[in-house]
Chain A
Amino acid sequence: MRFVDEFRDPAAARALLGAIGRLAEPRSEGEHFKFMEVCGGHTHTIYRHGIEHLLPGNVELVHGPGCPVCVIPMGRVDDAIWLAEQPEVILTCFGDMMRVPGSNGSLLDARARGGDVRFVYSPLDALKIAVDNPDRQVVFYAIGFETTAPSTAVTLVRARELGVRNFSVFCNHVTIVPPIKAILDSPDLRLSGFLGPGHVSTVVGTTPYRFVPEVYRKPLVVAGFEPLDILASVAMLLTQIREGRCEVENQYSRVVDEHGNPAALELLGRVFTLRPHFEWRGLGFISQSALAIREEFAEFDAERRVDLPGVRVADPKACQCGEVLKGVLKPWECKVFGTACTPETPIGTCMVSPEGACAAYYNFGRMHRDAAQLVGQG
């Protein structure tokens, strides 16, 4: 129970674990519960606090595709590197994207070769760099789900208000519902339910997930990011199953409203449109799963302003990020995990972002697992 002491309220954690234990007691031979946490933030919490080792043996958490850095395909990294290599360009991006490997190194490598690559905290920082450098072309390499896309939308509206001419966005924003659907349609996984993403839901609300119980008969609980939130959400999923219910529930109601953030949704609709299809690392092409910049904002669309190489690049053969992103493989089951692929020398995206399942497991989970195995052997 060592990790329980780190929780906000250890007594509440123990009570929740007790409830989970009772709810999960097998009612049939080999009854097993497999819940997918969609969001990388949840993955980070689960490994950091050793939650998987606190749960009963028949309650398994598998990691989903909700890490925005992890799902960017190699070809789109190569396009960003190509942009960074244009002499007039300052390429700006979030810090997490800097080390993601393309087919010929990462943006960090491009910077070492002389490219002007700068990491920014906010897309509005990138816009400021454009205002301060009127003789350069500033491109913001935008990634992220609905949590982050409204920020890019506001930035484009602001760029237009200010009449900034040397700013554009290389848009790689993706949406959360299509990959959940792709995973539900995949025959590889038999899931018992989902921990729904927390901060994406502050924007989209809880209604877009209704298809999960209504069409696929799986419960979904929108969950917060603290260890207690994860435990409470697992207990809510098990309760639904035991009571024969199957619904969307909101455990994170202190932050998430059922209807999301209408101002943010309106901005998304004003600035972006759905792409017919977009390639996801590991999941392949998914139709209507990503955002493109609308015609009205075409002057700020890097893909319209320059002719990007746009070459599709297959993932390295050794890399099994795709299987990890679908929850089919656990990080440690990948052939190169922790040997050829480490946070210092990542081969795949899941080892780069702190929210990637492999990096989170490498940093925190390994020790817990090794210790658990030793105890098991002893």
Chain B
Amino acid sequence: MCLGIPGRIVEITDRANCLAKVDVSGVQRTISVRLLERDFPAVDEWVLVHVGFAMARIDEKEALLTLDAVQKMGESYQDEIDALDSSSIV
């Protein structure tokens, strides 16, 4: 439930509504970055993604190591990626 997966910002799709496209292990989806509005992440920066929201900024080295560790979770990781893949927000 409280799983956070690192994602790389690939595009700011709607600055006014704080929407950005992230890439998580090759799956690209639009998420909300409104919780980081005061310290808006830029393209190519990494964020921790939870239920379609960027929760915190993380540095790239940390992001890659965390992603590697999360991938070792197997089924829980795959479920999270599948759920992200199904996501379509307004």
Contact = CB atoms under 8 A, between A and B. Distances in A.
Interface string A162-200: 100000000000000000000000000000000001111
Contacts, number: 130
Contacts of B32: 124, 151, 154
Interface in B27-78: 31-32, 34-38, 48, 50-53, 55-56, 58-59, 62, 65-66, 68-69, 72-73, 75-76
Interface string A117-129: 0011111110110
B84 interface: yes
Given A40-B1, A151-B52, A8 B90 contact: no
A128 B2 contact: no
A93 to B, nearest CB: 12
Interface in A108-135: 119-125, 127-128, 131
Given A128-B89, A263-B34, A199 B52 contact: no
A148 B51 contact: yes
- Main secondary structure, interface of B, reads mixed
B41 to A, nearest CB: 13
Contact of B65 (A8, A255, A257, A263): A8
Given A122-B89, A127-B90, A202-B55, A263 B1 contact: no
Contacts of B73: 44, 48
Interface residues of A, number: 54
27 contacts: A39-B2, A40-B2, A48-B73, A68-B1, A94-B51, A121-B86, A122-B87, A125-B89, A128-B90, A144-B51, A147-B1, A150-B35, A151-B50, A151-B52, A154-B53, A162-B90, A202-B56, A203-B55, A255-B48, A255-B58, A255-B62, A256-B56, A257-B56, A263-B34, A263-B36, A267-B35, A355-B1
Interface of B: 1-4, 17, 31-32, 34-38, 48, 50-53, 55-56, 58-59, 62, 65-66, 68-69, 72-73, 75-76, 79, 83-84, 86-90
